[in-house]
């Protein structure tokens, strides 16, 4: 039994064991791949007391976040989404030139660039030195570090309270939620708002997206446990939206209790979560069996293609590709190489399996028979970019919700 990071109870029951894995974002240089690589258990659990889904064992954050290869501006879809978010929240909250927007896990400053274009004050905080450097080059003031009670005290003394605090895709990374929410409480203006965007647990289950489980993601959020967490600190969700981005996300707007009207979407979403069983252990045990079935059928499909002499490559080396590759037991003998747009990843090797990463142009030079779409959440974008590969007869394999050829 593990202590729950939302309610502090000791009722966390493990339901999915993905085995020992290297860190999903530690893409290796040629020299690094010959050295010892650390692996850690990857086990997902469900809290019987508050229904929060979480990893049962945590890796020290510094090992994962001090240097980060995922850059927001690399994806056209994500960049557009973040700039839309800035425009939407500026309008909804009526932010002006004196309003401070704090973005936690601000990456290369893509979201804050959107807010700057809207005319607000901006401040970013991110633990990754390399990303902070990129953000500064983009003209976005950014502090290097983790957000929590201590940093919030420093930031509020220097910059004043924030009218809006955003956390897009960083909230699932927080192991010490109590310290984090205490920080939010210190930093947030009395009538301010917090906007959290995170992969939605419901979408994860419906898409069978087990590969989005990796050590960085200590939490898999539904609204129920999130509401319980914020209520402990005198705050409450006032609006919830589901977004098609990434793997399906929720955007939750949180305010101090009584600071804003609570939208119908909150009660509706909570009722839906109960209806589909997000608060019951059986739901997760069923999911675990589906994941094991997917592993077996996908591994079989790749073995059959190899037997038939087909050449298979991969597209996209997001962190989740590491979970999929490791859990399925794949290596360069199944997927010869992976094409990825990010210059930071090209020339490196995937963690654990050591599959080489190459520029996307190699797909056309080489024209493999099949390409496993490891970045399946950007399927439309990738397939549009790879129209030429497909027009020459190349086929894509989608790994989830079940292995299929498109």
Measured between alpha carbons, how far is 356 from 338 in angstroms, rounded to an integer?
Answer: 6
- Does 4 engage in binding with Zn ion (CB under 5 A)? yes
Cβ distance 198 to 171 under 8 Å? yes
- 13, 33, 37, 49: residue in contact with Zn ion (rule CB under 5 A): 49
Query: In whole angstroms, how close is the CB of 119 to Zn ion at the nearest point?
Result: 41
Tell me how far, at minimum, the Cβ of 146 lies from Zn ion, in Å: 23
Q: Output 9 or 145, the one with its CB closest to Zn ion.
A: 9
DSSP 154-207: HHHHHH--EEEEEEES-GGG-S-HHHHHHHHHHHEEEEEEEEEEEEBHHHHHHH
47 binds Zn ion (CB under 5 A): yes
Least distance CB 11 / Zn ion (angstroms): 6
Q: Which stretch binds Zn ion (CB under 5 A): 40-48, 303-311, 363-371, 388-396?
A: 40-48
Q: Per CB under 5 A, which region of 34-42, 50-58, 351-359, 377-385 contacts Zn ion? A: 50-58
By the rule CB under 5 A, 204 interacts with Zn ion = no
Q: Which long-range contacts (CB under 8 A, 24 or more apart) does 221-224 make?
A: 221/171, 221/172, 221/250, 222/51, 222/52, 222/53, 222/273, 222/278, 223/250, 223/252, 223/266, 223/269, 223/270, 223/273, 224/50, 224/51, 224/270, 224/273, 224/274, 224/278, 224/279
The minimum distance between CB 406 and Zn ion, in angstroms, equals 39
Closest CB to Zn ion among residues 7, 291: 7
- Give the residue, chosen from 21, 24, 50, 193, that forms a contact with Zn ion under the rule CB under 5 A: 50
Q: Is 152 exposed, middle or buried (0-12, 13-18, 19+ CB in 10 A)?
A: buried
Residue 5 as a binder of Zn ion (CB under 5 A): the answer is no
Q: How many CA atoms lie within 13 A of 206 on its CB side?
A: 12
- Using the contact rule CB under 5 A, the part of the chain among 42-50, 98-106, 202-210, 376-384 near Zn ion is 42-50
Q: Which of 6, 245, 291, 302 binds Zn ion (CB under 5 A)?
A: 6
How many angstroms separate the CA atoms of 207 and 221, rounded? 15
Minimum CB distance to Zn ion smaller for 49 or for 206: 49
> Contact, 339 vs 315, CB < 8 A?
yes
If one asks whether residue 44 binds Zn ion (CB under 5 A), the answer comes out as: no
Q: Nearest 5°: phi and psi at 250?
A: -115, 140
Q: Which chain residues interact with Zn ion by CB under 5 A?
A: 4, 6-7, 9, 47, 49-50, 52
């Amino acid at each position: 039994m593990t202590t729950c990071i939302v309610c502090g109870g000791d009722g966390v029951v493990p339901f999915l064991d993905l085995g020992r894995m290297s860190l999903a974002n530690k893409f290796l240089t040629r020299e690094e791949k010959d050295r010892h690589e650390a692996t850690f258990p990857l086990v997902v659990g469900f809290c019987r007391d508050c229904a929060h889904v979480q990893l049962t064992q945590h890796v020290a954050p510094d090992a994962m976040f001090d240097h980060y290869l995922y850059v927001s501006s690399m994806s056209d879809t994500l960049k557009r989404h973040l700039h839309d978010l800035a425009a939407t929240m500026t309008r909804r909250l009526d932010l002006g030139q004196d309003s401070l927007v704090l973005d936690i896990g601000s990456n290369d400053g893509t979201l804050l660039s959107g807010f700057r274009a809207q005319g607000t004050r901006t401040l970013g905080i991110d633990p990754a030195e390399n990303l902070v450097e990129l953000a500064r080059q983009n003209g976005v003031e950014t502090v290097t570090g983790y957000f929590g009670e201590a940093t919030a005290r420093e930031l509020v003394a220097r910059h004043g309270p924030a009218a809006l605090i955003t956390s897009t895709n960083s909230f699932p990374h927080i192991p010490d939620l109590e310290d984090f929410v205490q920080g939010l409480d210190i930093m947030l203006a009395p009538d301010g708002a917090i906007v959290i965007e995170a992969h939605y647990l419901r979408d994860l289950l419906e898409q069978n997206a087990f590969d989005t489980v990796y050590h960085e993601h200590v939490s898999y959020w539904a609204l129920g446990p999130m509401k319980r967490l914020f209520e402990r600190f005198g705050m409450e969700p006032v609006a919830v939206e589901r977004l098609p981005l990434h793997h399906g996300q929720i955007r939750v707007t949180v305010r101090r209790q009584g600071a804003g009207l609570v939208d119908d979407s909150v009660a509706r979403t909570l009722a839906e979560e109960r209806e589909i069983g997000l608060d019951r252990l059986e739901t997760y045990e069923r999911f675990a069996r589906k994941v094991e079935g997917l592993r077996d059928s996908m591994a079989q499909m790749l073995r059959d293609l190899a037997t038939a002499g087909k050449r298979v490559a991969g597209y996209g080396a997001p962190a989740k590709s590491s979970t999929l590759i490791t859990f399925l037991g794949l290596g360069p003998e199944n997927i010869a190489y992976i094409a990825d747009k990010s210059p930071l990843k090209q020339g490196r090797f995937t963690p654990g399996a050591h599959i080489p990463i190459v520029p996307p142009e190699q797909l056309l030079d080489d024209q493999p028979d099949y390409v496993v779409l490891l970045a399946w959440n950007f399927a439309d974008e990738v397939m549009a970019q790879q129209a030429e590969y497909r027009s020459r007869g190349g086929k894509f394999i989608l790994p989830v919700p079940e292995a299929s050829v498109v």
